[in-house]
Amino acid sequence: MSKPIAHFSRRYRFSASHRLHAPALSDEQNRETYGKCNNPHGHGHNYWLEVTVAGPIDPQTGFVVDLPKLDALVQADVLNRFDHTHLNQDPTFSGDFVPSTENLALEVERILRRDIPGLTSHEDLRLVNLRIEETRNNSFDLSGADLESMHREASR
C-alpha cells in the first residue's frame, strides 16, 4: 500500500534590483526588448518566492517537511544570497545570463533541488513547484513536468 503524497507550499519575501540587458544585443535592441527595465541604473522589486514540495506524510509528525529545516535552507541558500542585492552583480548573471525573473527562478530551482530531499527522514521529498512573483501582475512558475525534465538533465 502506497503512502499518500501531500503538497506543502511556503512563501518568502525578498527585495532585489536588476537591469535587463543582454550583452549580445545592441543598446537599441536592448531598449526595444526590455523598455524601462533596461534603465542603466536598474530598478527594484519586492519579490515573493513560493516553494512547493511534495512527499509522503510522516506518520510520527504528521508533516510532509520539517518546516524549520526548509526555512533555514531557503534563508541560507536563497534569501541571504539575493535579498537586498543588485542581481546583475551576482556571478550567476554575468555574461549572457540576463537576470530576468525567469532566469532567477531557474537559479533558485538549481540551488534548492539538491538539498530539498535531505529535509526529511525519507528521500521521497521533492520540489514540485517554484513560483517567483515579481509584481502583482507578473510571476513565473517552474512546475511539474518542467521540473522533472530539469532534474533529469541535471543528473546527467
pTM of the model as a whole? 0.88
Respond yes or no: is residue 134 known to be catalytic: yes
Q: Domain limits at 85? A: 5-154
Buried b (16+ CB within 10 A) or exposed e, 53-67: bbbeebeeeeebbbe
Q: Residue 73: pLDDT above 70? A: yes
Tell me which of 7, 43, 84, 122 is the catalytic residue.
84
Respond yes or no: is residue 37 known to be catalytic: yes
Residues 76-94, mean pLDDT to the nearest whole number: 95
Q: What is the CATH number of the domain that holds 91?
A: 3.30.479.10
Tell me which of 37, 50, 86, 151 is the catalytic residue.
37
Domain count within the chain: 1
Strands (E), the chain: 5-18, 43-56, 85-86, 126-133, 139-143
Tell me the three cell numbers of residue 35: 523598455
Please report, for residues 21, 75, 122, 124, the alpha-carbon distance to residue 68 in angstroms, rounded to integers and kept in the order given: 37, 10, 16, 18
Lowest mean pLDDT among 2-16, 80-94, 113-127: 113-127
